[in-house]
Chain A
């Protein structure tokens, strides 16, 4: 049976087809000496030689900063005005299977006790086109968290790389519709897929054990946290590049008379994150903040939403200025 094929040379046509209909096309591209997800206009901009983009594509669903309301103030009244959700048709091309799997957790959070339309509308209008990994590095650990380059969780269209083309598999209804809409750029044919890069499963880690140990609260004040993580400098870079971190802060910016209410990325690694107005800080030390992030990934998310808190993309390991490796902590908690 013939496969559905997207010629690599036809990527430009796909981009035109998407942008021609008014959509935005997001793909890995080289900017400031590193590969990052950005809006692109042509195939020439799209990077092909990369393991993972430095940032995750979450910023196209949940931007770093976003106006959620506008206000004007006068002597005796405050007028609030809503803003329209910016939710263009979006294609995220070249995501990896690990990061695509982060969407379930994102959605669970933003639809939990309140439907956050700023997220949901954008996600509904986004098609995630995953390109399975043909290479990786020593920070990759998807197989350790029970994912792999073959996973299609969160993926709408799954691509396997071949010599001069991609073999296309539409995974979801949204994906099928996407392939139909842009049918002209796809063809039928046969291609031989390149072998996938399978990160070796880290031998001493057992995710089920990690979660079970975190559930038992006796670990909470264990010295192990300080021992493993007191080198953390609290820069929060891990949370900014993480595809599943989604904490935010609401601020009002403007003058005394008018302004905007903005939703900005925040990070549980900051000392002010849990600082109370009274001056008390329940997570006073950095290792406590680190413990929170780890628990969020391996306890809160699996427990509350039955979704993955960590997808094993390894971004946090690559970006950490002190090389604090989350898998080393996972190993400790598998004992």
Chain B
């Protein structure tokens, strides 16, 4: 797959169809992958593809990255799950479909965190999104790398996100509250969750609005709670469960639980899952006379 990927990247850059290829490369010791921005066709051979390619590179298509935007038209190496984020960005008018060349990678799963990699990809070190993946064969692409796959991970471990949500849901409200207060108390307000999220593309986040200060910047329980809940609410109907926020969190707050819970609520209330069709707008930004809530009519 790497060979085809490099070939395609080279071709695109040489022909001038794109100016930059956003993909994965190795770190110095070739133990971890890291995002690379290839502008020189001769460098296309540094692109890599393997189960360590965890990053959701769609982040670099957002307006937060002015320098990358300035490089010109991008091609992006993207897994199906990453493409879901690109779909949301298009439905929200961040750019047009033709503004990006998508090199879709067929994918049999990636590791949850790169440091878990011991040379073999097992279901135990995959994130939940890989266990339940329905976009192994990428759904919105300009070019696909890899043969069509029907892979299903064997023996999915228990105790992952869905089990944990069930367990939490079965608890009384006060215990759920205690659970989250304890988790949020660890928050250091670094906002890594926001920075790594391609759907948190606001140039001025609510945390930065300080007249008045909507969200207290101190890492105390009240400030932490208002930050984490606000972010969760802003992602309702948009989050694709790519898992980047939980991966980036330096204090291991289980943000996937919140996001997957919200996805479940949206699915139930609006029969909608984000990131599949670039022509359908997320439920929170559309007016529909068919809405089942009366207040909207």
Query: What 0/1 readout, one digit per residue, does chain A (1-36) give for beta carbons within 8 Å of chain B?
Result: 000000000000000000000000000000111101
Contact A318 B248 (CB under 8 A): no
Nearest chain A residue, comparing its CB with the CB of B114 = A323
Contact B67 A285 (CB under 8 A): yes
Contact B244 A323 (CB under 8 A): no
How far in angstroms is the closest Cβ of chain A from B212?
Answer: 10
Contact A322 B35 (CB under 8 A): yes
| A64 at interface, CB cutoff 8 A | yes
Contact B188 A321 (CB under 8 A): no
Q: Which of A46-69 contact B (CB under 8 A)?
A: 54-55, 64-65
Contact B28 A264 (CB under 8 A): no
| A334 at interface, CB cutoff 8 A | no
| A207 at interface, CB cutoff 8 A | no
| B152 at interface, CB cutoff 8 A | no
Instruction: Report if A322-B55 is in contact (Cβ < 8 Å); known contacts: A32-B251, A264-B218.
Output: yes
Q: Compute how far the CA of A327 lies from the CA of B31 in the bound complex, rounded to whole angstroms.
A: 14
Q: Which of B61-79 contact A (CB under 8 A)?
A: 64-68
Instruction: Report if A240-B34 is in contact (Cβ < 8 Å); known contacts: A285-B66, A323-B114.
Output: no
Contact B27 A325 (CB under 8 A): yes
Nearest chain B residue, comparing its CB with the CB of A286 = B67
Please name all residues of chain A whose beta carbon is closer than 8 Å to the beta carbon of B191 when the two chains form the complex.
235-236, 270
How far in angstroms is the closest Cβ of chain B from A55?
Answer: 8
Contact A321 B115 (CB under 8 A): no
Please name all residues of chain B whose beta carbon is closer than 8 Å to the beta carbon of A287 when the two chains form the complex.
67
Contact of B216 among A230, A236, A253 (CB under 8 A): A253
Please name all residues of chain B whose beta carbon is closer than 8 Å to the beta carbon of A319 when the two chains form the complex.
250
Query: What 0/1 readout, one digit per residue, does chain B (197-230) give for beta carbons within 8 Å of chain A?
Result: 0000000000010000100111110010000000
Q: Which of A286-335 contact B (CB under 8 A)?
A: 286-287, 318-319, 321-325, 327-328, 331
Q: Compute how far the CA of A49 lies from the CA of B252 in the bound complex, rounded to whole angstroms.
A: 19
| B33 at interface, CB cutoff 8 A | yes
Contact of B250 among A33, A234, A240, A270 (CB under 8 A): A240
How far in angstroms is the closest Cβ of chain A from B193?
Answer: 8
Contact of A324 among B33, B34, B247, B251 (CB under 8 A): B34
How far in angstroms is the closest Cβ of chain B from A332?
Answer: 11
Q: Compute how far the CA of A235 lies from the CA of B191 in the bound complex, rounded to whole angstroms.
A: 6
Please name all residues of chain B whose beta carbon is closer than 8 Å to the beta carbon of A230 when the two chains form the complex.
37, 65, 67-68
Please name all residues of chain B whose beta carbon is closer than 8 Å to the beta carbon of A212 when the two chains form the complex.
none
| B97 at interface, CB cutoff 8 A | no
| A146 at interface, CB cutoff 8 A | no
A-B contact pairs, 12 of them (CB 8 A): A32-B252, A55-B251, A64-B219, A65-B223, A234-B64, A253-B218, A264-B217, A265-B189, A287-B67, A322-B34, A325-B28, A328-B28
Q: Which residues of B contact A (CB under 8 A)?
A: 27-29, 31-37, 55, 59-60, 64-68, 114-115, 183, 186, 188-192, 194-196, 208, 213, 216-220, 223, 244, 247-248, 250-253
Lowest 9 A-B CB distances belong to which pairs? A235-B192, A235-B195, A321-B248, A323-B34, A65-B218, A32-B252, A64-B219, A231-B35, A237-B192
